[in-house]
Amino acid sequence: MNLFGIIEEIEKVDPEFNDRISPRRNAIKNMSSFGTKVALAAIPFALGDLFKKAYGAAASSDVIAVLNFALTLELLEATFYNTGLAKAGLVADTAYITYIKNDENNHVTFLTDAITAAGGTPVSANDLAYVDFTGGGGKNNGPFSDVFTNYQTFLAVAETFEDTGVRAYKGQAGNLLGNQTYLTAALAIHAVEARHASAVRYLRASKYGVSINPWITSTASASNDTGIPQVNANYGGATPENNTAQGGVNILSLTSVEGSTTSVAVASAAFDEALTQAEVLAILVPAFVNTK
């Protein structure tokens, strides 16, 4: 989830938000170097403090709505990893999955604290009509019905969530241009999310022989490289993953260092394409989650 995209959305409904936190930018201006000081997972708590200081009084209902929307999505991701790790014998690679789980739970804590500090009531799991990780729209009989009994399926769903998250994150980056503080921190966290996706892809390839790279590698006819046709939409969108034009340049027309033309696989692997918020919602709702 793009935490800094959340800030951008808040600024749309509260134009004074940027001014509220401006005197405190020193608290986050060096976030790009946080990796040498504290774990990147701690960044949400630093931002939570900014929310508390920015909103000494109750925030508008529009601001609360933006934060609660983000919290709903984070609850989905955190619940997925929490549930998987709680299933005895399901997760073989506990170090990898626990690391990702901790990040997602930290995001939930950050958003919950931020909403409370802003005078709002954070949503909780009780506010969700259902969470269905089988992709069955609340009936728990979707294409991933064995997600919590078959580790291969669990990793496949995890890969899809992580790849989609990276694309959704990039979809918000353009909104941060002109605000170096937030953009720098957002890109630092984006890199961590990409490593999550890479780790899950590595596990699928190394443990089960799935023919995938640690990064999305498309073909001219297919954006989805996971081998799971049910998630084609996660790799499509207005700008699908097999897009080969960047900055108005056709990457396929460029000559490689070996003198050959650039392939679709190489061109698509070099860039992550963005998903809009509407595209992300169309993927997740109602197949995986819905609110009451």
Note the pLDDT tens digit of each residue in 114-136: 778 778 899 999 999 999 999 99
User: How many CB atoms are closer than 10 A to CB 230?
Assistant: 15
Class of domain 46-214+273-288: mainly alpha
Q: In one letter, which amino acid is 135?
A: G
Place of tokens 């969108």: 237
Residues whose CB is less than 8 angstroms from the CB of residue 150 and which lie 6 or more positions away in sequence, other chains included:
none
Q: Which two tokens stand for residue 292?
A: 């009451």
Provide the β-strand partners of residue 249: 246
pLDDT tens figures, 70-119 = 677 778 889 999 999 999 999 999 999 999 999 888 878 877 887 787 78
- Give the global pTM: 0.77
Would you kindly state where each structural domain of the chain is located, as residue ranges? 46-214+273-288
107/96 Cα distance (integer angstroms): 18
Q: How distant is the alpha carbon of residue 83 from its chain centre?
A: 18
Expressed in percent and rounded to 5, the helix, strand and coil fractions of the chain are 60, 5, 35
Dump strand ranges (E) for the chain: 128-131, 245-246, 249-250, 289-291
